[in-house]
Amino acid sequence: MMTYRPRRNRNSKSIRNLIRENALTSNDLIAPLFVIEGENQSVAIDSMPGQYRLSIDLLVKEVEELWELGVPCVSLFPALDDSKKDKYATESYNDDGLFQRAIRAVKKACPEILVMSDVAMDPYSSDGHDGVVSDDGEILNDETLEILAKMSLSQAKAGSDIIGPSDMMDGRIGYIRDALDEAGFTNTIIMSYTAKYASAFYGPFRDALDSAPKSGDKKTYQMDFANKREAIRETILDEQEGADILMVKPGISYLDIISDMRSNTTLPIAAYNVSGEYAMVKAADEKGWIDGEAVMMEMLTSFKRAGCDMILTYFAKEAATLLRANR
């Protein structure tokens, strides 16, 4: 006699639903969105089918649709003209800059949705790096912190609910926390890009912002993809420095990191399902080689299984739409 038959618990949809361990809901999703200057502008991003750079008026509409679908948070990124970029990313803390105006407009139209704002120099840097580049090409850590703090403050003033430092400079979480607290922004959340790897999966995002490094790579600040212990080291430091939420980036090739982090912290964990991961699914789906929708749901659920509380994903709208239809 066979005592154990695991297939019993798979025999019908109902029993499968009953024993299901993890479920994705629209509450788990954060939608990354790109903003550009102008009015009524929607510029397709070739390497990210279905994603657009939107002028503020259309961005606001998109956010309202996401909110209506039950998505609780959007993460904004500015695509700036080269003329706005310089060595010290000064445009990043211009209180009337594109990004700050976008944050204000979104919060005004849709006050309850959480706005997360990215903190790093690259969209504003003529060098295309996340930090200040010295004459001999070094990325200067401590000089960068001050700029990141100014940028964070300017975003918080504009109404950002969640500051998202994506730069990987040492000590930036504590530095930004202090700057926010001193200015009275004690309720502004920091979601740290805690374990951000130097990854080839960011290609389409850099196309979207035209933000690829002009020289060198990001390997002296973003992590080596061969490393796992180092992610826990970063977790401990970010906790000590006062991060509220920790993030792992990219996502799909880094589920082991998420799982390890889950057993080493009590803080909420986010994954960033990045541009290259999105592009691969879309490309294979367009060719008819995979069922893109099914792969999307499998990927997003795998983040939950690995221990994530939330997922930044370009699939947010599509997934929320599907979840609503299947309700």
Q: Which residues are catalytic?
A: 196, 249
Handedness of CA 51, 281, 200, 308 (dihedral sign): positive
The reply, when asked if residue 234 is annotated as ligand binding, is: yes
The window from 1-9, 12-20, 115-123, 226-234 that contacts ligand PBG (CB under 6 A) reads 115-123
For the chain, the distance separating the N- and C-terminal CA atoms, rounded to the nearest angstrom, is 40
**Residue 271 CB-half CA count within 13 A:** 31
Given 118, 127, 161, 239, the residue binding ligand PBG (CB under 6 A): 118
Q: Is 319 exposed, middle or buried (0-12, 13-18, 19+ CB in 10 A)?
A: buried
Q: Contact between 205 and ligand PBG (CB under 6 A)? A: yes
The window from 5-13, 114-122, 155-163, 258-266 that contacts ligand PBG (CB under 6 A) reads 114-122
The nearest distance, CB 106 to ligand PBG, in angstroms, is 18
Q: Contact between 197 and ligand PBG (CB under 6 A)? A: no
The window from 35-43, 102-110, 182-190, 200-208 that contacts ligand PBG (CB under 6 A) reads 200-208
The nearest distance, CB 120 to ligand PBG, in angstroms, is 3
Check residue 134 and report its DSSP letter.
P
Where do the H-state alpha helices sit in 184-315?
Answer: 203-209, 229-241, 255-262, 275-286, 292-306
With the CA atoms of 147, 148, 149 and 154 taken in that order, what torsion angle do they form, in degrees rounded to the nearest 10? 90
Given 100, 160, 166, 301, the residue binding ligand PBG (CB under 6 A): 166
Structure tokens at 6: 């695991």
Q: Contact between 127 and ligand PBG (CB under 6 A)? A: no
Q: Which is nearer to ligand PBG, 183 or 252 (CB)?
A: 252
The window from 3-11, 52-60, 155-163, 199-207 that contacts ligand PBG (CB under 6 A) reads 199-207
CA distances from 84 to 43, 168, 255 (A): 19, 23, 37
Contact 254, 248 (CB under 8 A): yes
Positions 58 through 97 that interact with ligand PBG (CB under 6 A): none
The nearest distance, CB 74 to ligand PBG, in angstroms, is 14
Q: Binding pattern to ligand PBG, positions 222-261, x when CB under 6 A?
A: ----------------------------------------
Q: Contact between 52 and ligand PBG (CB under 6 A)? A: no
Q: Binding pattern to ligand PBG, positions 9-48, x when CB under 6 A?
A: ----------------------------------------
Q: For residue 34, what is the enclosing H or E element?
A: strand 29-36
Given 113, 120, 180, 316, the residue binding ligand PBG (CB under 6 A): 120
Closest CA to 273 of 309, 242, 314: 314
How many residues at the interface with ligand PBG, by CB under 6 A? Answer: 12
CA distances from 141 to 90, 126, 219, 220 (A): 17, 17, 14, 10
Task: Give the Cα separation of 165 and 144 in Å (integer).
Answer: 12
List contacts with ligand PBG (CB under 6 A).
Answer: 118, 120, 122, 130, 166-167, 202, 205-206, 218, 274-275
Annotated binding site: 234
Annotated binding site for Mg(2+): 234
